[in-house]
Amino acid sequence: MNTQPSVPGLHQNAVTVTRVAYGQWHALDDDLVVGRGHARHRPDGRLFVSIDAWHDAAFDRLAEVLLADLPAPLHTVVDEADVELTAAWQRAGFTVRRREWEYAVPTDPRVTGLDAVLPPPGVTIVPAGQADEGLLRAVDRAIRAEVEASVGWQSMPAEVIPFPEGDTVVDPSKYAVAATPERYLGLIRVVVPIRPRIGLLAVRAGERRRGIARALLAHALETQHLAGHTTAFTEVQESNRAASALFEGVGARRLSSNLELVR
Q: Give one DSSP letter per residue of 137-154, joined into a string.
A: HHHHHHHHHHHHHTT-GG
Which of 72, 93, 114 marks a domain boundary? 93
Q: How far apart are CA 117 and CA 217, in angstroms?
A: 10
3-state secondary structure of 262: strand
Residues 246 and 137 occupy one common structural domain:
yes
pLDDT of 158 over the 80 cut = no
What band does 42 get if pLDDT is binned at 50, 70 and 90? confident
**Does residue 31 sit in the same domain as residue 160?**
no
Cα dihedral sign, 105-210-204-122: positive
d(CA 172, CA 112): 27
Residues 156 and 238 reside in one and the same domain: yes
How many angstroms separate the CA atoms of 258 and 233, rounded?
14
Residue 195: Cβ within 10 Å count: 13
Residues 26-34, mean pLDDT to the nearest whole number: 92
* Nearest in space to 199 (alpha carbons), one of 228, 242, 170: 170
Residues 136 and 249 in one domain: yes
- How many domains, in total, are found in the chain? 2
What pLDDT does 4 receive? 43
In-domain check, residue 111 = yes
Average pLDDT on 140-154 reads 77
Residue 170 lies in a domain: yes
| pTM metric for this prediction | 0.77
Average pLDDT over residues 115-133: 96
Write out the residue range of the structural domain in which residue 114 sits: 102-262
Is 5 part of any domain?
no
Q: Is 241 a domain residue?
A: yes
Query: 42, 62, 93: which is the final residue of a domain?
Result: 93
**Residue 67: inside a domain:** yes
Is the pLDDT confidence value at 66 over 70? yes
Place 161 in a pLDDT band, splitting at 50, 70 and 90: very low
Residue 153 lies in a domain: yes
Determine the pLDDT at residue 167: 61
Could you tell me if 116 and 212 lie in one domain?
A: yes
CA dist 14 to 8, 10, 46, 89, 155, Å? 11, 6, 32, 21, 40
Average pLDDT of the residues of the chain: 89
Proportion of the chain above pLDDT 70, given as a percent? 87
- Over 90: is that where the pLDDT of 43 sits? no
Same domain? 87 vs 126 = no
Residues 6+ apart with CB under 8 A from 261: 75, 76, 77, 78, 86, 89, 90, 94, 95, 96, 97
Residue 89: Cβ-neighbour burial (10 angstroms; 0-12, 13-18, 19+): buried
pLDDT (0 to 100) of residue 174 = 94
